[in-house]
Amino acid sequence: MRLRVWLPSLAELVPETTLEFEVLDARRVMRSRGEAVVAALPKGMDCELVLHALDVVLMDVRLPPMSPSRLARALPGIVEDRLAGEVERSHIVAGPRNAAGGAVAAIVDRAPLQRALEIFRRAGVPIAAVTPQPLALPIEPGAWRVRLRGAQGSVRTGPYTGGGFAADRGPPAELQLMLAQSAVPPAAIEVEGDCDPQAWAETLGVDVRPAAPAVEAPPVALDLLQQEFSRGLVRLRPWRASVALGVALLATALAGLNLHAWMLRGQEKAIRASMVRIVQESFPQVSVVLDPVAQMKRLVSDLRTGAGADGGEFFALAAALAQVAEADSVESIDYREALFTVRFRSDYAGTQAQRASLAERAARAGIALSFSGEAVRIARKDGP
C-alpha cells in the first residue's frame, strides 16, 4: 500500500494544512480517499507527494550524453537562460532522454521543497517519491487530462509534459496557448472538476468532456527525489550529527587500539628477549634460541628424565640441599660440567659455626659441602 498526498502551494503549506490524500494498493488502484492534516494521515505506508502545478516548471531540454552525476552538475547551465529566477536556488532534475536527445526538466525552488519534506519527516511520514501534479494525472492516447480544484488547475498533455494555470469559470487562456503551440492537438480534453464543457469546447475548438475522478493512479513518471534530495540522503540528514560523532568515536577507538597494539608489541619483544636470556644463562650449551618457551620445556624435561648429561645427579643433589638449607637462604645455584655450586646468604653461612652446622646437617642428608670463599660445592658423600 502507498499513500499519495496532493499538496497546495509550497508557500502555503504548514503542518495544520488540510490535505487531499489517496491510499493506493500495489497495482496503484485507489482504495480510499480522504482529507487530513499531516499528523493525521494514515500511518504505516510510504508516501508519494504530488507538488502543486504552479510550484514546478516543466521545460523541454536537450541533454548531452553524460553520466548521471555529470548531468546533474550540467543541468543548471542548460536551463539557466530560460529560467526567470536564480538558478542557484533551484532544484533541477531531468526525465529520461529520448532517441533525439530531448527530455523534460522539472525545476522547483529548493528551500520550500526542503521545508515540506521536513514537515512530513517530523510527523513520521516517510517520503518515497515527489512528482509534479501534471504528471500525476492519468492520460489516454489522443487526449489531454485537466484537473480543477478551486481557482487552480493543471493539465497533462503527454507522458512528460503539462503545466498549471489559474482557473475560473471560463476556459483558461493557458490551455488556448498550449493548443496553439501543440504540433499534434488532442482529439479531446477530459476535465475533472467544475467546468462548462460546451463553453470550453466552443472557445478551445476541441471536444471537451467531463471526467470522473480516476480510480487508478499512473506510475510516477518523474521523481524529484534525486541528487541532494535522494531518498537515502533525505532519511539520513536528521542523523548527520550522530553519524559524524559515531565516525569520530570510531576513529578515536581505532587509534587507541593501534596505540595499545604497538605498546603490546614492545612488551612482547622485551619479554621474549628476557626469556631468551634466561634460557642462554641456564643452558650455556644452547647457542641459538628460536622458541624460548618450547626450548626451555624441552631442556627441563631432559633434566627431569636424566636424558641430559648428569641430569639425574642435578635433581638428586638439589633434593638433598632442600632438606639442609632454608628456601630463602640460597642466593644462586650453578650446575655445569657435573659440578653443583651454590651461594648462600652471607648471614646464613658467613661464620665458621654456621658452616659447621650446615656441613653436619648435609652429612646426615648424604651430601658433602666444600666451602671455597662465598661458593659452596656440593657432592654426594662417599660411604658412611
* Mean pLDDT confidence for 352-362: 88
Q: What pLDDT band is residue 383 in, cutting at 50, 70 and 90?
A: low
The verdict on pTM exceeding 0.75 is no
pLDDT tens-digit profile of 152-208?
899 999 999 999 988 776 788 888 999 998 888 899 999 998 888 999 999 999 999
Per the model's pLDDT, the better-predicted residue between 196 and 350 turns out to be: 196
Is the model's pLDDT at 234 over the cut of 60?
A: no
| Residues 91/76, Cβ–Cβ less than 8 Å | no
Cβ atoms within 10 A of the Cβ of 107, count? 24
Q: What is the pLDDT at residue 156?
A: 94
CA distance 264 to 367: 47
More confident site: 241 or 383: 241
Predicted pLDDT of residue 86: 79
CA 181 to chain centre: 50
Tell me which amino acid residue 118 is.
E
**Quick check: helix, strand or coil at residue 372?**
strand
Secondary structure percentages of the chain, helix, strand, coil, to 5: 40, 30, 30
**109: which DSSP letter?**
E
pLDDT attached to residue 327: 64
Q: Which homologous superfamily is 138-213 in?
A: GspL cytoplasmic domain, C-terminal subdomain (3.30.420.370)
Region 309-380: CATH code: 3.30.1360
pLDDT at 337: 67
- Domain boundaries in the chain? 1-132+219-229, 138-213, 309-380
Q: What percent of the chain has pLDDT over 70?
A: 92
Calpha distance 120→303 (Å, rounded): 82
30, pLDDT greater than 50: yes
* Third-level CATH fold of 1-132+219-229: Nucleotidyltransferase; domain 5 (3.30.420)
pLDDT of residue 285: 73
Question: Across the chain, what does the average pLDDT equal?
Answer: 86
The answer to whether 209 and 188 are in contact (CB under 8 A) is yes
The yes-or-no answer to whether 138-213 and 309-380 have a common fold is no
Q: Assess whether pLDDT exceeds 90 at residue 75.
A: no
pLDDT band for position 245 (50/70/90)? confident
* Residue, of 173 and 296, whose pLDDT is higher: 173
